[in-house]
Structure 1
Amino acid sequence: MEAKVMNDKAMDVVLFEERVCADGKRLAIATLNVPATLNALSLPMVQLLTARLKQWASDPQIALVLLQASGDKAFCAGGDLQQLYQSMRTHHASAAAGDCCANAYAAEFFASEYQLDYLIHRYPKPVLCWAHGVVMGGGVGLMMGASHKVVTEATRFAMPEAAIGLFPDVGGSWMLSRLPGKIGLFLALTGAQLRSADCLYAGIADYAIPHASREQLIAAILRQGWSISPFEAAQQLSQLLHSVAMPEAVLAGPLQEAATLIDRLCEGENWQHIVQKLRDHAYTDPWLQKAAASLHKAAPLSLALAWEAQRRAATMSLEQVFQMEYVLALRCAAHTDFAEGIRALLIDKDGKPQWQPADLQQLTAAHMETLVAAMFAAPDWPQHPLHDLAQPEVSVQQNEHNEHINLEEQAA
Structure 2
Amino acid sequence: MTLDEAELLVTVEEALGHLQLNRPRRLNALTPAMMTGVRAALADWRDDPTVQVVLVDGVGERGLCAGADIRALATALGPGAPGPAPDEAARAAVAREVLGLEYAMNLDLATFAKPVVAFMDGIVLGGGVGVSAHSSLRVVTERTQVGMPETAIGLCPDVGALFLLARAPGQCGMHAALTGSRFGAADAITLGLADAFVPSADLPDLLDGLRGGELPALSADGAVPGSLEGDRAWIDACYVGDDVPTMIAALAARPEPAARGAAATLGRMSPFALAVTAIAVRRAETLDLAGVLDQDLNVCSRLAARPDFAEGVRAKIIDKDDDARWQPATLDAVDPAAVEACFAGSND
Global fold match (TM > 0.5): yes
* Structure 1 letter corresponding to 2:221: P
**Counterpart in 2 of 1:17?**
11
- Is 1:348 the counterpart of 2:305? The answer is no
- Cα 1:73–1:280 shift into 2, 3 Å: farther
1:312, distance to aligned residue in structure 2 (A)? 1.2
Q: Does 1:328 align with 2:299?
A: yes
Match of 1:186 in 2: 175
Whether the 8 Å contact between 2:164 and 2:192 is mirrored in structure 1 is no
Give per-residue Cα distances to partners, 1:31-69, cap 9 Å, x unaligned.
101111111111111111111121112212101001000
Return the letter of the residue paired with 1:82: R
Deviation at 1:9, TM superposition (A): 5.2
Task: Report what 1:205 is aligned to.
Answer: 194
Query: Secondary structure of the equivalent of 2:64?
Result: strand
| Residue number in structure 1 paired with 2:131 | 142
**Contact in 2 for aligned 1:91/1:103 (Cα 8 Å):** no
1:143-167 deviations in Å (ceiling 9; x for gaps): 1210100011110011111111001
**TM-score, length-scaled by structure 1:** 0.79
Cα distance, 1:9–1:109 mapped onto 2, change above 3 Å: closer
CA distance in 2, matches of 1:87, 1:96: 18
Q: Please give the per-residue CA displacement for 1:176-210, whole angstroms capped at 9, x wherever unaligned.
A: 11111101101111111110011122322100101
- Counterpart position of 1:124: 113
Once the two structures are TM-superposed, the CA of residue 267 in structure 1 deviates from its matched residue by 2.5
What is the letter of the counterpart of residue 283 of structure 1? E
Q: Distance in 2 between matches of 1:359 and 1:99?
A: 22
| Distance of aligned partners of 1:359 and 1:154 in 2 relative to their CA distance in 1, 3 Å threshold | same
Hey, what's the Cα distance between the residues in 2 that align with 1:351 and 1:269?
A: 26
**Distance change in 2, residues 1:292/1:19 (3 Å):** same
The aligned amino acid for 1:192 is S
Partner-residue secondary structure (3-state), 1:258: helix
* Corresponding position of 1:59: 48
In structure 2, the partner of 1:247 is 221
Aligned mates of 1:238, 1:214 — CA distance in 2: 12
* Pick aligned residue for 2:285 from 304, 314, 319: 314
| Cα distance between partner residues in 1 of 2:167 and 2:216 | 23
Q: Are residues 1:221 and 2:210 paired?
A: yes
**Alignment partner, residue 78 of structure 1:** 67
Q: 1:103 to 1:185 in 2, by over 3 A?
A: closer
| More displaced 10-residue stretch of structure 1: 148-157 or 168-177 | 168-177
CA distance in 2, matches of 1:272, 1:284: 19
Deviation, structure 1 residue 94: 8.0
Q: Is the 8 A contact 1:101 1:107 kept in 2?
A: no
Q: 352, 357, 374: which is aligned to 2:328?
A: 357
Deviates more, 1:347-356 or 1:106-115: 347-356
Cα distance change, pair 68–280 in 1 and its aligned pair in 2 (3 A): same
Are residues 292 and 269 of structure 1, via their aligned partners in 2, closer, same or farther at CA, if it must alter by over 3 Å? closer
TM-superposed deviation, 1:8: 5.6
Count of residues in Structure 1 that have an aligned counterpart in Structure 2 = 348
**Contact 1:41–1:80 (CA<8 Å) still a contact in 2?**
yes
TM-score w.r.t. length of structure 2: 0.93
CA distance in structure 1 between the partners assigned to 2:148 and 2:220 by the alignment:
25
| Contact 2:115 2:135 (C-alpha < 8 Å) held by counterparts | yes
State the identity as a percent: 34
Q: Find the residue that maps to 1:143 and give its secondary structure.
A: coil
Whichever residue aligns with residue 351 of structure 1, its letter is: D
Quote the Cα distance in structure 2 between the aligned partners of 1:111 and 1:271: 28
1:271/1:304 contact within 8 Å kept? yes
1:382-401 correspondence runs (5 A): none
Q: List alignment gaps of at least 5 residues for structure 2.
A: none
1:156 pairs with 2:145 = yes
**AA at the equivalent of 1:119:** D
**Residue 98 (structure 1) shift:** 4.1
Aligned to 1:377: 344
Which aligned segments of 4 or more residues in structure 1 are displaced greater than 6 angstroms?
93-96
Q: What residue ranges of structure 1 are gaps of 5+ in the alignment?
A: 1-6, 21-25, 227-235, 379-383, 388-412
Does the 8 A contact of 1:167 with 1:303 survive in 2? yes
Partner of 2:36: 47
Residue of structure 2 in register with 1:410 after alignment: none
Q: Distance in 2 between matches of 1:182 and 1:95?
A: 39
SS in 2 for 1:259: helix
Counterpart position of 2:245: 272
